[in-house]
Amino acid sequence: MKRHVLHFLITAAIAVVTACVATQSAALAVSCESLANLKLPDVSITSAKSMPAGAFTPPEVPGEGRGAGRGPGRGVGDLPAHCAVQGVIKPTPVSVINFEVWMPANNWNGKFEGLGNGGLAGTISFGPMANALRDGFAAASTDTGHTSKEDPSWLENRERLIDYSWRGFHLTTVAAKALVDAFYGQAAKYSYYLGCSTGGKMGLMEAQRFPADYDGIVAGDAANFWTHQMMNEVWDGVVTGTPETNLPQDKLELIQTAVLKSCDALDGLADGLINDPSKCHFDPKQLQCKGSETSGCLTAAQVGAVEKMYTGPVNPRTGKKLYAGMYPGGEVGWGKPGGQVSINHEDKSGGSSDTFFAYALFQNPNWKYRTFDFDRDIQTADEKLGPITNATDPNLEEFRRMGHKLIYYHGTSDPLIPAQNGVNYYESVVSAEKSLNRTQEFFRMFLVPGMYHCANGPGATGFGGNTPASQKDADHDLINAMERWVEAGTGPQKIIATKYVENTPAKGIAMQRPLCAYPMAARYSGAGDPNDAGSFTCVKGQ
């Protein structure tokens, strides 16, 4: 009898506890505001508000959104009703990692999406979060531990550099998943990541350091070899930054025209795009002036500058190649006005390199980029900063073992991060796996002919983000392709990318081309409409 009474009391107690937990869970599932009371390690929830459907005005910050990979696109208007949570994560005494999570109030697709950043970050990627929210995802982004308006001296602090490089986003992912679980009363069925540039690096960093965080990662144009990418931006400035070596836009157009004349038809169609630029072996010496300089030729100094752009950084003492060079065929993009370019810099190097090296490496805000030593200084950077900032580990075996998937893309005309850097990383994974087929079971790469840094350019560069509903499927959209791969087991052999009229989806389709899983490349079949993706096949080599 006592045993039965004891059993009854224990059962009753469990029922009471279960009822309390259920009541709490139900409250959290319906009340956004109650999330302000959620307790998470090292996390302070500073705001939790139910937001009605409509427009959202983000803070005015420079460069927000592009690096995340969904592009600035539709901005942040016409948002569905959602729960917006803001918080701060402080894993160390100096850490201040701001993050934001948006969760659909209705029609949640049961999934979570983390969004990356661009450059030195310092902002929340509101535009890409808005796109994810519209597609039914719960979405999260972080400033990675500093603000864009903050003095760059934060780079001198090792802990804050770690927050920026990998810890801030990982902890944001952990916190966001906990908030999703609390708000809906259930965990997300699948978690996906999307990011380009620094965001591409963040995605690869997640796969390498925290393989359990995401079921599927879509990473693009990655600055994953960070110390050498910073060096590359310095190199591009040094080799073109004098009056003699400067490459004005008319000379870049001259070079690209000659490159296309030489290599455009290698893929079976002369259309202004080189589908496999690794097969283009263009010698800029053929443009060297025979006499005085004119607009139709290059000086010897300019020829040398172009050669060094194609070659990439080289150690002056050993002659060792330190980083990938630019592919031929995208020269106009090297100096595109308003672009994030690295050439023709006089006082400061382009991209993030001047700020990063001045503070993180030399801790001297007055550092002059032309003093960089491509032997001694890059070795110091690799030793001091590489273990924190670089995402180059080819060992993705734990990620593969978990059944997780990775899609990588890179624009062949990227004027900031050479596409060959992405190829080099992919091939290092193939080497580590000792098999291309084994690698493609979980990791596939797509080169995007004619795309600049993460977006734009003369090629078909629409393959996700702000695409019309008619293009939002697994054949045309990378996130949808990733969902099909993770959830149905069908990996993409090709993605149909779209070029819109005047780069405006509402104006219709100008052309479509297949992006082929590397090492395959698209080749024109010789018949059919060249603006139709069906007129191309994926072949290995040209």
Long-range contacts of 381-385 (CB under 8 A, 24+ apart): 381/227, 381/230, 381/231, 381/357, 382/227, 382/228, 385/161, 385/226, 385/227, 385/360, 385/361
Dihedral pair phi/psi, residue 467, rounded to 5°: -85, 155
DSSP string, 220-260: ES---SHHHHHHHHHHHHHHH-STTT---HHHHHHHHHHHH
Residues of the chain with pLDDT under 70: 1-30, 60-75, 337-340, 466, 541-542
User: Tokens in use for 367?
Assistant: 């550092």
Pairing of strands 138-142, 111-115: parallel
Residue 509 in 3-state DSSP?
strand
Q: Look-up: residue for tokens 């903050």? A: 150
pLDDT of residue 346: 85
The secondary structure element, H or E, covering residue 43 is strand 43-51
Query: DSSP label at 81?
Result: P
| Residue 99 contacts residue 44 (beta carbons within 8 Å) | no
113 forms beta bridges with 139, 192
Euclidean distance between CA atoms 169 and 140, whole angstroms: 9
Residues whose CB falls within 8 Å of the CB of residue 91, separated by 6 or more in sequence, listed in order: 42, 97, 163, 167, 171
pLDDT of residue 76: 75
pLDDT of residue 337: 57
Could you report the per-residue pLDDT of 1-11, keeping only the tens digit for each?
333 333 333 33
Query: DSSP label at 212?
Result: T
Question: Which one of 410, 414, 476, 535 is the catalytic residue?
Answer: 414
Question: Which one of 146, 170, 453, 476 is the catalytic residue?
Answer: 453
CA distances from 461 to 175, 178, 390, 450 (A): 33, 35, 27, 8
Question: Which one of 125, 141, 191, 197 is the catalytic residue?
Answer: 197
| Residue 415 contacts residue 453 (beta carbons within 8 Å) | yes
| Residue 449 contacts residue 273 (beta carbons within 8 Å) | yes
| Residue 333 contacts residue 461 (beta carbons within 8 Å) | no
> Would you call 453 a catalytic residue per the annotation?
yes
The secondary structure element, H or E, covering residue 20 is helix 2-30
Q: Encode burial over 512-525: b for 16+ CB neighbours within 10 A, e otherwise.
A: bbbbbbbbbbbbbe
| Residue 326 contacts residue 311 (beta carbons within 8 Å) | no
Could you report the per-residue pLDDT of 251-263, keeping only the tens digit for each?
999 999 999 999 9
Q: Look-up: residue for tokens 């062949």? A: 412
Pairing of strands 190-196, 111-115: parallel
CA distances from 356 to 162, 352, 476 (A): 14, 6, 36
Rg, Å, the chain Cα set: 25
User: Tokens in use for 481?
Assistant: 């392709």
Count the Cβ atoms, other than its own, within 10 Å of residue 221.
Answer: 32
